[in-house]
Amino acid sequence: MLIAEAVWADRFRRPPWYLRWLLTVGYVVLSLPAVLLLIGPDRRDRSIWESTGASCRRTFLRSLSDGLRPGAFLVSPDFRHIARMGWRFLTLLVLLAAFKELLTEHPRWTVGCAAILIGLLCTRLNVADHVIMAAARSQEREKLLDFLEERLRWMQAHCDEIVIVAHSQGGFLAHQLMTRDGGRNQSKVMRLVGVGSGLKPIRLLQQLRRPLVWAVAWMLPTASLCLAWGASPLIEPSSSEIAAGMLMYLEATMPALVVPLGAQSPEFTSAMLDSVAESMKQVQFGLLLLGDMPWERWAAIAVSAALTLACGLTIRFRIRPKAETLFALPPSNGPQQLEWEEYSSQHDMVGRMLLPTLPRGVEQEATPVLGHPLGDHTRYFDDDGLLTRHLAAQLLADVESSTHQSLGAGRWAETVARYERALRKQHDRRRCFQGVLMLWVAAGSLTPRMAHGATLVEAVIGSWHALAAATVLLSAAFTWQGRRSHRKLVAMLDAELRGEPQPTPSVTIVVPQHRTAATLALAIGAVVSFFGALGLTMLSGLQPAWNVRSPGAPMLAAFILAVLAAATGSGYRVRRAWVGGAGLLACLPALASSGPLSSTAPAWAKAPGGPLAAIVLLTLTLALVSLSRARLVHLPEASSNCSLSVPTHGKALPHSRRSADNVEAEVRAGGKRAGPPRITR
């Protein structure tokens, strides 16, 4: 039984078309805190939000020491959580900046876009009205449940066992159908499968109708705004001396990278050290601005802390006890207990929500789809989807249990599970690469504006064109590559299920512990090359007699090294020839330029960019050594067991739901777990 939106979308009364858009906009405004959860934590942040096991015993000092490790940004879930939140916050700022400029600079376009949006909200394409119906219109929702129950009655009269697959808002309706009158509809339903289910968001919208929950939902963003404004002197360059000190430090050290050693007199070195010391004093002074903040900012920080504490206590003692039974299904009155499973991708905007929590064991591992917040929601049942093959394994297991025939359900489930793990790891690697590249672009776009005194928000607004273009281009490129690699692995999966010979594993991932040194070395080399290129450009204008050549080569090397650092930190295997080529570009000015003619220093000490070349070569040597010693994990793993395990009816398929923590630990360790059983003919 499939409960999808197309089945029931025309079965309930809607408001008149001329009121539909107004009611939709009004409901969105009143439920704004729930909309803000779209940029909040998702199911990948469960280890941060709900610590279990050994993570509960972590002390503050242990967490601090783990976060200060050089490789923490590669393996720490805390860093990944912060990075995801920062990425979504940056995207939201870019969208708001684009809307503001569109409103102020092109009001006619704004009015036209608003008219088109209102027109769409007045038509049947207003999907938000379906959500409002399920969350707020009890009478229409009950009529719709009556319609679905009537169809379920027909199936109960013609079928022995029923499996319900519910997508999107159908997941909420199916859950409501199973909880009606103590579970009266569960007699022949053996399994409820939610796919990209809207159960959580619709339940959350329903809970916002409670005054206490509504107050807490509005207090949390208020506390965040108060904290951001109160602590802005410590984090905004326009309000502190830290950015000015760092800018002075760069100005002091940049000449040492490009000026020839023969021209670096004791006076030059002394002046550079004095400037560095002065910049450090300014940075330290900026760090001691706590006593200079006005009382209004301290009051805002205190209000933020008080609101956060009040929200935490309210959630702990008044909201969470009721939320624990919010999704509980009544016991089945049939011969067996109803199995409930929820599947979602990591990026599906509807199904990825972390709160409110479902009963233990209901949420399954993330289903690899595409990696897009909207595209994933509609691609679960594509021809090249992994979820359909996973559900097919369950169907085979059910048929085997009822007919006592061997249909290869165990082999099917093991093979699908291996490719699911491979696609998850490939997806994580690709998304990390995209995120680090976007981090480089954002840093290059925002740092100059922030160094001149702009706040973070002002810098984003001023650079929104570049950020929007980079976001769209990177998203399109990585989405295309993700779809291509997904189809390739699914084709390999189908060939293996047919018993055809398989090529070598197509996914090769570097173990996280063996990425840190190479990533740091390449990143340092990229930064040094970038500022060295700027210094060479300035030197060519100030000293034309020195014949500085190819000042753009280190800049190109900086871009290449930045991309290689992002790829290495994400787990890609980088070719050493690329690193060597970037190092050669960084050394071109030192090889092709000539220094001061009157100097008596040797020839190697008169080349502009000599220190730059030496530092870059040192960092790249360290990177090459680390890359040569890196350990690899090949996915999908090769089979190493000769026994078959066939799942029984009503039980989980073997190895098909290994926890993400166990798989992550396996990849971190660099070893290979015993794969699924090998089938021989």
pLDDT in tens, 34-64: 777 666 677 777 665 554 444 445 555 555 5
Nearest-10 crossing angle of helices 107-121, 17-30: 110
pLDDT in tens, 268-324: 677 777 777 877 776 666 655 555 667 788 888 899 899 888 888 888 788 777 776
Rounded distance, CA 328 to CA 335, Å?
A: 19
Copy the structure tokens of residue 350. 């509807």
Longest pairwise C-alpha distance within the chain: 101
- The distance from CA 596 to its chain's CA centroid, rounded to whole angstroms, is 51
pLDDT of residue 341: 92
Question: Is beta strand 507-510 parallel, antiparallel or unpaired with respect to 632-635?
Answer: antiparallel
What per-residue confidence (pLDDT) applies to 83?
72
Q: Is the dihedral of CA 157, 161, 165, 166 positive or negative?
A: positive
**126 phi/psi in degrees, rounded to 5:** -75, 85
Reported for 217-222, long-range contacts at CB under 8 A and 24+ positions apart, including other chains, are: 217/33, 217/34, 218/33, 219/307, 219/310, 219/311, 220/33, 220/307, 220/308, 220/311, 221/33, 221/36, 222/307
Instruction: Please tell me the least confidently modeled range out of 97-101, 382-386, 407-411.
Output: 97-101
Which is higher by pLDDT, 415 or 449? 415
Predicted confidence (pLDDT) per residue in 498-538, tens digit: 888 777 667 888 888 888 889 999 999 999 898 888 888 88
Can you tell me the mean pLDDT for 203-228?
84
Q: What single-letter amino acid sits at 93?
A: L
Minimum mean pLDDT range among 157-166, 248-257, 364-373: 248-257
Q: How would DSSP label each residue in 407-462?
A: --HHHHHHHHHHHHHHHHHHHHHHHHHHHHHHHHHHHHHHHHHHHTT--HHHHHHH
Digit-coded pLDDT (tens) for 444-489: 888 788 777 677 777 877 888 888 899 889 988 998 988 898 998 9
Q: Note whether 81 and 48 are within 8 A (CB).
A: yes
Residue pair 116/80 in contact (Cβ under 8 Å)? The answer is no
Q: How confident is the model at residue 578, as a pLDDT?
A: 92
Structure-derived torsion over alpha carbons of residues 249, 250, 253, 258, reported in degrees to the nearest 10: -170
**What is the C-alpha to C-alpha distance for residues 220 and 204, in angstroms, rounded to an integer?**
15
| Sign of the C-alpha dihedral computed for residues 314, 315, 316 and 317 taken in this order | positive
Closest by CA position to 101, among listed 483, 381, 468, 548: 468
**Token pair for 667:** 């990849």
pLDDT digits (tens, 9 = 90+) for 222-274: 888 888 788 776 655 444 566 666 667 777 777 777 666 666 667 767 777 77
Predicted confidence at residue 565, as pLDDT, reads: 92
SS3 category, 466: helix
CA distance 365 to 401: 24
Rounded Cα distance between 329 and 338, Å, is 9
Distance CA(94)–CA(106), nearest Å, equals 17
Q: Is 508 helix (H, G, I), strand (E, B) or coil?
A: strand
Q: What's the confidence (pLDDT) of residue 50?
A: 56
Give dist(CA 645, CA 392) in Å, integer.
Answer: 17
Do β-strands 339-343 and 189-195 pair in parallel, antiparallel, or remain unpaired?
Answer: parallel
pLDDT of residue 298: 83
Per-residue confidence (pLDDT) for residue 603, from 0 to 100 = 58
- DSSP element (H, E) containing 18: helix 17-30
Cross-strand pairs, 3: 166
Token pair, residue 2, equals 């499939």
Is residue 541 over pLDDT 60? yes
- The answer on pLDDT for 654 being more than 60 is no
Query: Could you tell me which residue, 68 or 8, shows the higher pLDDT?
Result: 8
d(CA 651, CA 260): 72
Mean pLDDT of the chain: 78
On the question of pLDDT at 647 being above 60, the answer is no
Domain ranges across the chain? 2-52+69-207+344-381, 233-321, 416-645
Query: Six-digit token pair at 567?
Result: 């790829």
Better-predicted residue by pLDDT, 653 or 192:
192
* Spatial contact of 14 and 144, defined as CB atoms under 8 Å apart: no
For 32, other C-beta atoms within 10 Å of its C-beta total 12
% the chain with pLDDT above 70: 78
User: Using a CB cutoff of 8 Å and minimum separation of 24, what contacts does 662-669 make?
Assistant: 663/421, 663/424, 663/425, 666/633, 667/425, 667/509, 667/511, 667/512, 667/633, 668/75, 668/511, 668/512, 668/513, 669/511
Assign 571 to helix, strand or coil: coil
Overall average pLDDT of the 622-633 stretch: 89
- CA nearest to 562, candidates 633, 640, 623: 623
Looking at residue 660, what is its pLDDT? 40
Q: What is the band of 164 on the pLDDT scale with cuts at 50, 70, 90? A: very high
Please count the other Cβ atoms lying within 10 Å of the Cβ belonging to residue 305. Answer: 14
Determine the angle formed by the axes of helices 128-136 and 199-207, rounding to 10 degrees.
60
pLDDT at 560: 94
Joined together, the tokens standing for residue 177 give 């159908």
